[in-house]
Amino acid sequence: MKQKNGMPLAQAAAEDIIEMIRTNHMKPGDRLENEYELAKKLNVGRSTVREAVKSLETRNILTIKRGAGTFISQNEGVAVDPLGISLMGKDEGIALELLDVRMILEPESAALAAIHADKNEIAEISRQNRKVIGMIRQGLDHHEEDARFHQLIAEATKNRIIAKLVPIIQQSVGLTAEMTSKRLTETTVSFHEQIVEAITRGDANGARSAMIAHISENRIYIIKEIERKRRFE
Amino acid sequence: MKQKNGMPLAQAAAEDIIEMIRTNHMKPGDRLENEYELAKKLNVGRSTVREAVKSLETRNILTIKRGAGTFISQNEGVAVDPLGISLMGKDEGIALELLDVRMILEPESAALAAIHADKNEIAEISRQNRKVIGMIRQGLDHHEEDARFHQLIAEATKNRIIAKLVPIIQQSVGLTAEMTSKRLTETTVSFHEQIVEAITRGDANGARSAMIAHISENRIYIIKEIERKRRFE
């Protein structure tokens, strides 16, 4: 295989395309130049461009629409089920392991949000929380809106890695969700409100504590569910 | 678009293929049945199978090799750069944000490893550590072997999500690594040894503390590097 700086040519072309996307500040939905123009610009053959574009499609950075062209993906490079959790199964173990990871990540996420959230972010978190609480009280499936609440907190941390990780974990919770989707209690509402209040007053320790309590509640609920299922087996 | 249980047909077919991979305990490198057989088995058209297989290739679950067939991917569903960090840039900010995430994840990972690692895992972690230390002392680029050391600790937690997450973060460190790859000091060696010793004696708090010290050292190093660069700008 032909190489450039010890890197396969198509991989080097893919890196060049990423660099191009970044320096031109291209946004999801923007259209990439065609194969011919790219080949000229990157100084490689069209088959190399094709291979590079395909690898970037695999990485959810580009989306190829037959007949329409190649576009910047809406996913911003984040894969669907990036941890491959759908391959692991949907057992109870996974649900608990996910909660253990949430317990590691999200209290710190809440604490950082309390430190870094600006007024607009606080308003949006608060609005989203009212939406979730409304759905809980109406007995609706609030899983997606709840995930969005946790995502907004992660984004307010201003740590771009946490902002990507928390939604991935939340999305994975969705993959294993049957057992977690119906814990619709007044204590959930109360912990959510405590989280929002602590973030609003810039209270990092308060936000961390309330998030720990919230996730602990989920954990206890799931363990009870597992025990209940076992009794009926 | 045709649907099944409210899900696009190709997506439902993709889910069926995942289910098939799981129930047949298929391993990376195993070959999938051909399009014709899959279509018959899943009771859908060949174009639906083609679309489903392509979507699973995008998710790094399958690998299509032209002329040879379709195989279970070596990546086990984990994407290359699954967080899309290559799109974010390689600035100093990202390097620090990654370290902040490591500081959240890895001390707990070390503590859980101290609790759950079995004899074989302890031996492997210890062997890998000697390899890394050897490379540090010879002044070699030890980034990949160091990432493997941290990955083995993550796997020993027995939490399958942590086992996936830590390598993703380590891989992302690689994407931004220029500034982090050459901190080759005797204190690094000492902290690594403290981590291994604590895991070996099942000392969760010791493993957590040593990991905090290790990552802190990296953080201080990077902040000094950033300041040094700024002075020369």
pLDDT in tens, B126-161: 999 999 999 888 888 888 899 999 999 999 999 999
CA B192 vs. chain centroid, Å, equals 19
What is d(CA A199, CA A125) in angstroms, rounded to the nearest whole number? 9
* Alpha carbon distance B132, B143 (integer Å): 9
Query: Which of A195, A192, A193, A200 has its CA nearest to residue A120?
Result: A200
Q: Residues 60..99 of A with a Cβ closer than 8 Å to B: which?
A: 60-61, 75-89, 93-94, 97-98
Whether chain A has a CB inside 8 Å of the CB on B7: the answer is: no
**What ipTM goes with this model?**
0.75
Q: Does CATH number 1.20.120.530 belong to domain B85-231?
A: yes
The model's pLDDT over A106-148, given as tens digits with 9 standing for 90+, comes to 999 999 999 999 999 999 999 999 999 998 888 888 888 999 9
Closest CA relative to residue B177, chosen from B148, B138, B149, B143: B143
Cβ contact (<8 Å) for B87 and A76?
yes
Instruction: Give percent of chain A with pLDDT exceeding 90.
Output: 42
In DSSP notation, B62-105 reads: EEEETTTEEEE-TTTTBPSSTB-GGGT---HHHHHHHHHHHHHH
Give residue B126's pLDDT.
98
Q: How many CA atoms lie within 13 A of B93 on its CB side?
A: 7
Per the CB < 8 A criterion, the answer to whether A177 and A134 are in contact is no
Distance from CA of B190 to the nearest CA of A (A): 26
A86/B78 touch (CB, cutoff 8 Å), yes or no: no
Which chain B residues have a beta carbon less than 8 Å from that of A104?
A: 104-105, 108, 162
Instruction: Sketch the domain layout of chain A as residue ranges.
Output: 3-72, 85-231
Confidence of residue A202 (pLDDT cuts 50, 70, 90): very high
Tokens 């939340």 label which residue?
A: A170
**Neighbour tally for B67: CB within 10 Å:** 4
More confident residue, A64 or A122: A122
Between chain A and chain B, how many beta carbons pairs sit less than 8 Å apart?
130
Architecture of domain A3-72: Orthogonal Bundle (1.10)
pLDDT, tens only, B17-57? 888 888 888 888 999 998 899 999 999 999 899 888 888 88
| Residue A49, CA atoms < 13 Å, CB-side half-sphere | 17
CA distance, residue A101 to nearest chain B CA (Å)? 7
